[in-house]
Structure 1
Amino acid sequence: MAQNPYLSSQLSRISRPSEQLRSIVRLPGPFAELPRHPILYNHPSPIHPLPSLSVNPQSPNHPRINIYAKREDHGSPLACAGNKYRKLEYIVPDILSSTPTYHYHEHHPTTLKLDGPATILVTEGAIQSNHTVQVAALARTLGLKAIVLLSRGTGGGLRASQNRDSFLRSGNVQINRLIGAEVRILNEGDPAAIDANPILEELRASGERPYWIPGGASLHALGGLGYARAAFEIEMQELELNLEGSGRFDYIFVACGSGSTVGGLLAGFKLGETGPRQVIGVLNSPTKPRSYHADRVLSFARRAAAQIGFDGNDRPNAEQTIAMDDVRLEDRFVGTGYGVLDVETTEAMRIMAQSESIILDPVYTAKVARAMMHWVREDKIQEFARQRGLEDVNILFIHTGGQAALGAYADVI
């Protein structure tokens, strides 16, 4: 499939960072030297206040709680913008390399090298995976083919649906097909849902050069770099917003699925110079215990930290810099299953839609919003302010996209 020259030139024009932005979002070396292919707009994804959810108590003994949203769902001109495009920006240079390095499946690190740039991207996810749509859209933009493997057995969204046929056709599944990806729906227990190597070998035998991107891109060696860069972007936006209180976001709430979004943020803020923030990763699946996710996040954070400069001569070792105490995960709002909406999470979606006109997705951001609103009602944030003598606490909710999945949940909402 030939790359569309006009589309490529237009995307490059739209996405190429302006000189002004280059002068604001400063990345220290060697981070600034890492190759990155622009997929996002040439301006940061916007941050705006959520006045209806913010808290302005009359009592002088209680802090004002200022809540903002960072709109990663408005971050790219490509289909169904969300947090995966930011990760993919650092993976594209390897995809287009004449000798790709990280193209293999994690269960079978192959010694087979691709004899040129990739010709087809292959990825995986749950039936309503946001990640697969963003990989498929990227493939089309690069002039590549795409295969997405959607597993019936991942999570409980399909099992909970009252109309399973519709769930298998609508939402992100429909968009994947509209984009032109080949969609393969795998049954529960299908070997390909665990190990995609037979599919990759099939493609190689047919003359393709397949590039494997694991679900969520977290297990990809470069998966944490995008959100390490986002931390510097947020620091720049904090200055522009002229925040009250500490002058920065004291709490940042973000979904924690595969883990590298949280891990990248931790690494980026550690490398930054403007002080600590409490990044709260909100888990969205009860399948694994919190300790399992915490170990993954810590591993991703340290890997990203080493890549962006922590193991250099003028920086401490990543393992010394980022510890388990830095990993803060919230697991009280996982619900009954990945992709399964419960009454409380649906209510959080309703509150956000009717108070701020923001549409959340049913799998990730709805649970993040629910957790954030619960924390605001608890005394923990107020105690944080009292200990530091702050009259204002600033909270950032990162909206990672995913609204396209709503169509598959029509029988629930």
Structure 2
Amino acid sequence: MRPRIPTQLPPPFNQLPRYPILYHEPSPIHPLPTLSQISTRIPHADSSPRICIFAKREDQSSPLACAGNKYRKLEYLVPDIFSPTPTYHYHESHPTNQTLQGPATILVTEGALQSNHTVQVTALARKLGLKALVLLNRDTGSGYKTSSSPDHFAQLGNVQINKLLGAEIRMYNADDPEATDAQPVLEELRKSGQRPYWIPGGASLHHLGGLGYARAAFEIAEQESECRLGGSGLFDFIFVACGSGSTVAGLISGFKLVDSLRMGSGDNWPRGPRNIIGILNSPTRPRAYHEERVLRFARTAGQLIGLFNSEREITMDDVHLDDRFVGEGYGVIDDETRKALSMMAETEGILLDPVYTAKVAAGMMHWAQSEEMIKYAEKNRLGEVNVLFIHTGGQAALSAYFDRVV
């Protein structure tokens, strides 16, 4: 077994302020043996590589409500939230040089009705002793419209948890002005004496939004040695949901830095490139739109963590998004998504969410039996291909889909 790589981040990454929200120990990575066995069965290819699938349990990463990938992002936002002169507190549509007079008193964010992000922002706010206001759009995606009981959809799952956590909830339709511009709400709060801190959906448009998963790349690189991986000795493919984009972007920038440091050290560690595959979860925008966002977010994170020539070091060749599993709409469960959700539950006892991780699982299982993965193994002379599925949480939304999950 190889020695553990140092957990200490390199400068200037390690100098960026971070407020711990996650458990002290990394979120676990464990094998999925049954799913691996199923994915390796390719009748027409007796010499096909063994597919070894692992799960990184970001849904077990934090003691706060509904653990998931947003807490990792929010760790880098908290120091700015508490700052007497926050760098990001106005809506991105209304840039201003005005500063707050003191730290924030209320966190404001937005999302779809069953947004995981809003729950995690609310839970963080309560943990920090702050108020929380969430703006929920009924028309984001088609989950609300396609429900057999829209009234229940707007009350169960993450909506119910937001209420339990004490958030103020305001619901909108697509034609309401507040659905696209939260600035009037922020002005209302300021006039009432509050100091609102605006967190955009998924925290991706926030300039610090990609740092959490850049740090996760170092964590995963360390865990690779503990998993005793065969083949290349690293995770050849990493599958993760791509919604607002900064989770994928952070991984791209983080692994760029990990591998650049290993190259410079002259040691014999296995090195990338790892294939980071972002599975898109919504057909609302074309893939090219998401690719441009991910590239931009990855470069922003790269500059902050020490990739000083991030535009040269991170290119569109590093961005791999798959839009074949988006289904009919954001939050809409199709047969492929339902099958993946059921298979993960029945084979590995793991619950996925119907919006993000079930679509990632569907994409991952398709890739695992694809000619592309076989050719990758042949090209790199691998008898085993190591696959990492990043479980970003979201199971709390299942109750809102009571009429479509089973």
Task: Report whether the alignment pairs 1:217 with 2:203.
Answer: yes
Q: For residue 57 of structure 1, report the CA deviation from its aligned partner.
A: 5.7
> AA paired with 2:273?
P
Q: For residue 244 of structure 1, report the CA deviation from its aligned partner.
A: 0.4
Task: Report whether the alignment pairs 1:295 with 2:292.
Answer: yes
Distance in 1 between the 2:226 and 2:17 partners?
27
Counterpart of 2:362? 370
SS at 2:133's partner residue? strand
Deviations 1:247-283 (A, max 9, x none): 0000000000000000000000000033210000000
Bigger mean CA deviation after superposition, 180-189 or 260-269: 180-189
Task: Report whether the alignment pairs 1:93 with 2:79.
Answer: yes
> Any residues of structure 2 matched to 1:295-334 within 5 Å, and which?
295-311=292-308, 317-334=309-326
Distance in 1 between the 2:157 and 2:181 partners?
26
Q: For residue 237 of structure 1, report the CA deviation from its aligned partner.
A: 0.2
Counterpart of 1:18? none
Task: Report whether the alignment pairs 1:131 with 2:117.
Answer: yes
Counterpart of 1:355? 347
Q: Which of residues 378, 384, 388 is equivalent to 1:392?
A: 384
> AA paired with 1:30?
P
Deviations 1:11-36 (A, max 9, x none): xxxxxxxxxx9x84221110011000
Q: Which of residues 49, 53, 61 is equivalent to 2:47?
A: 61
Deviations 1:292-346 (A, max 9, x none): 00000000000000010111xxxxx100001101100010010000000011110
Q: For residue 188 of structure 1, report the CA deviation from its aligned partner.
A: 2.0
Q: For residue 100 of structure 1, report the CA deviation from its aligned partner.
A: 0.8
SS at 1:54's partner residue? helix
SS at 2:89's partner residue? coil
Task: Report whether the alignment pairs 1:401 with 2:383.
Answer: no
> Any residues of structure 2 matched to 1:337-356 within 5 Å, and which?
337-356=329-348
Deviations 1:224-247 (A, max 9, x none): 000000000000000111210110
SS at 2:224's partner residue? helix
Counterpart of 2:265? none
Q: For residue 192 of structure 1, report the CA deviation from its aligned partner.
A: 0.8
Counterpart of 2:18? 36
Distance in 1 between the 2:165 and 2:96 partners?
30
Task: Report whether the alignment pairs 1:279 with 2:271.
Answer: no
Distance in 2 between the 1:174 and 1:188 partners?
22
Distance in 2 between the 1:375 and 1:57 partners?
13
**Contact 1:153/1:189 (8 A) holds in 2:** no
**Contact 1:155/1:338 (8 A) holds in 2:** yes
Task: Report whether the alignment pairs 1:170 with 2:167.
Answer: no
State the TM-score, normalized to the length of structure 1.
Answer: 0.92
> Any residues of structure 2 matched to 1:59-208 within 5 Å, and which?
61-208=47-194
Distance in 1 between the 2:46 and 2:322 partners?
29
Task: Report whether the alignment pairs 1:49 with 2:49.
Answer: no
Percent identical among aligned pairs is 66
May I ask how many residue pairs the two structures share in their alignment? 387
> AA paired with 1:308?
I
> AA paired with 1:210?
P
Q: For residue 213 of structure 1, report the CA deviation from its aligned partner.
A: 0.1
Distance in 2 between the 1:35 and 1:352 partners?
37
Counterpart of 1:12? none
> AA paired with 1:235?
A
State the TM-score, normalized to the length of structure 2.
Answer: 0.94
Counterpart of 1:11? none
Task: Report whether the alignment pairs 1:25 with 2:7.
Answer: yes
Task: Report whether the alignment pairs 1:252 with 2:249.
Answer: no
Deviations 1:25-73 (A, max 9, x none): 2211100110000000000000000001113569762111100000000
Q: For residue 209 of structure 1, report the CA deviation from its aligned partner.
A: 0.3
Distance in 1 between the 2:310 and 2:279 partners?
24
Distance in 2 between the 1:92 and 1:188 partners?
30
Deviations 1:124-154 (A, max 9, x none): 0000000000000000000000000000111
Deviations 1:360-394 (A, max 9, x none): 00000000000000111211111101111111100
Distance in 2 between the 1:100 and 1:306 partners?
20
Task: Report whether the alignment pairs 1:381 with 2:367.
Answer: no
Extract unaligned runs of 5+ from structure 1. Answer: 1-20, 312-316
> AA paired with 1:97?
S
Distance in 2 between the 1:60 and 1:174 partners?
50
RMSD: 1.2
